[in-house]
Amino acid sequence: MPEDPRKAELLEHAQAHLFRSARDYGEPIIARGRGATLVDTDGKEYLDFGSGQMAASIGHNHPAITEALQRSSERILHLNTHLVSEEVIELARSLADLLPPQLQKVMLLSTGGESTEVALKVAKMFTGRFEVVGLLQGYHGHTGGALSVTFSNARGGYGPWVPGGMAIPTPYCYRCPLSMTFPSCDYACAKLGFDMIDAQSTGSLAAFIAEPILSAAGIIEPPPGYFPFVKRMCEERGMLFIMDEAQTGLGRVGATFAFEQDGVVPDVLALSKTLGAGLPLAAMVTSEEIEQDCHDKGMSFISSHQNDPFAAAIGLAVIEVLVKEGLADQARAKGQHLKDAYLRMKEDHPIIGDVRGRGLLLGMELIRDPETREPAVDETRRLTKRCLENGLILQQASYANIANVWRIAPPMTATYEELDRGVEILDKSMTELGL
């Protein structure tokens, strides 16, 4: 396959003009995508087991998305935030139809960080307090308020954070912070965490925020019953319970929303990534009571791309595909198929320490020794590179000092053949490196 003659020049321009947000930009340079497949400028194909930035949950360039974009471009793309279009109203109604009666008031936004910001503002306005509790390895965005409760990201060098952000231990059962075992631990990490919060609080506890599955931290799935337990602790303290379903919402975990599986309904729900399925769209959803109270108190949040018609048209298309194609059920079945395949691989490759997650949001943790569980960081890096060379894109978790876990999240529309091919490439790559 001939190499694209423009590649060297493009890479030179990338190095000269792109601000590096984390790492250097390099090959491959992607030219197009469809479904679970990306194609670079040389014509080489890659299976994308990360759904872009964990967002293209119904696949790259799904026909329903491209059609919605075309329709919207012929109608209206952008409006003043105080004006609403038919698409905006219909998306709010469609979301409310998917949610329990406690969650009916929707604000449409553009990014996950924005949805977190609004969720935090709502909690602070409603309670009249300012302290927010998160999980030690949680991730909620890169805007100011979101970063104040994101403890998995490097926090040095940016100056002071928004006051009131506090953390409790993550319920990371594979590496329990208290060296205990579930269920005999009886949620000791949560109990200790809230004891510490009570000791540090100024008496102004407003909310608790968490992802149902901590993705950026390495697909950490809290044990059954953890969130109902934590919500009770929040209620005892008059705190709102916020769930950030940026990556778990809209079918990916095998249910429309992960909180349905966890047996808890949040007071405030933050959505993004999967709502736009690859395009910038987010939402904050809460109850009529909370919305009315915040409105009566004069809460204001205005953003340039809040309630944009083109983004709402995309969201409507995503929900239509989700419901019509039964993608939550597909994610549950395909995810179990993929998880079973990885567990079989674990028998032949001792470097695989743990396989976890739900639906098509899985994590694979690599270790050097099954007894010590020493993280296989360098091996993970080399395997990620070899998989890319062999045509498989895997995302190496890069936050919370975790670098030995892959976040595996193929599109829900990926075929079983594509899932099996991804497993074969990973198995081949491990064998080639003697792992």
Over its length of 435 residues, how does the chain's per-residue pLDDT go in tens digits? 667 778 888 888 888 888 887 778 888 989 999 999 999 999 999 999 999 999 999 999 999 999 999 998 899 899 988 899 999 999 999 999 999 999 999 999 999 999 999 999 999 999 999 999 999 999 998 888 988 998 887 778 888 889 999 999 999 999 999 999 999 999 999 999 999 999 999 999 999 999 999 999 999 999 999 999 999 999 999 999 999 999 999 999 999 999 999 999 999 999 999 999 999 999 999 999 999 999 999 999 999 999 999 999 999 999 999 999 999 999 999 999 999 999 999 999 999 999 999 999 999 999 999 999 999 999 999 999 999 999 999 999 866 567 899 999 999 999 999 999 999 999 999 999 999
CB 273 within 8 A of CB 54: yes
Strand partners, 358: 361
Q: Do residue 96 and residue 150 come from a single domain?
A: yes
Which residues constitute the domain of residue 27?
7-50+327-432
Instruction: DSSP for 19-75, please give it.
Output: --SSS---SPPEEEEEBTEEEETT--EEEETTHHHHT-TT-BT-HHHHHHHHHHHHH
Is 72 within the bounds of a domain? yes
Give the count of domains, the chain.
Answer: 2
Strand partners, 355: 364
Q: Do residue 115 and residue 34 come from a single domain?
A: no
Q: Do residue 113 and residue 222 come from a single domain?
A: yes
CB 110 within 8 A of CB 303: yes
Q: What CATH number is given to the structural domain containing 97?
A: 3.40.640.10
Is 59 within the bounds of a domain? no
Q: What CATH number is given to the structural domain containing 21?
A: 3.90.1150.10
Q: Do residue 183 and residue 291 come from a single domain?
A: yes
Question: Domain end: 324, 339, 356, which one?
Answer: 324
Q: Do residue 303 and residue 345 come from a single domain?
A: no
Is 197 within the bounds of a domain? yes
Q: Do residue 103 and residue 133 come from a single domain?
A: yes
CB 405 within 8 A of CB 363: yes
Rounded Cα distance between 135 and 207, Å, is: 12
Is 409 within the bounds of a domain? yes
Q: How far is CA 114 from CA 33, 80, 419, in A?
A: 27, 18, 33
Is 58 within the bounds of a domain? no
Q: Do residue 305 and residue 210 come from a single domain?
A: yes
Is the pTM above the cut of 0.75? yes
Question: Domain end: 307, 324, 341, which one?
Answer: 324
Whole-number CA gyration radius for the chain = 22
Q: Do residue 107 and residue 252 come from a single domain?
A: yes
Cis-peptide into 183, omega within 30 deg: yes
Question: Domain end: 298, 324, 350, which one?
Answer: 324
For 377, residues 6+ apart whose C-beta sits below 8 A from its C-beta are: 403, 404
**Structure tokens, 405:** 């876990």
Q: Do residue 337 and residue 412 come from a single domain?
A: yes
Q: Do residue 295 and residue 350 come from a single domain?
A: no
For 397, residues 6+ apart whose C-beta sits below 8 A from its C-beta are: 216, 217, 218, 219, 363, 403, 404, 405, 406, 407
Q: Do residue 124 and residue 177 come from a single domain?
A: yes
Is 55 within the bounds of a domain? no
Q: Do residue 311 and residue 339 come from a single domain?
A: no
Rounded Cα distance between 30 and 244, Å, is: 30
Is 156 within the bounds of a domain? yes
Pairing type for strands 268-271 and 361-366 reads: unpaired
Rounded Cα distance between 191 and 166, Å, is: 15
Instruction: Report which DSSP code applies to 214.
Output: B
Is 190 within the bounds of a domain? yes
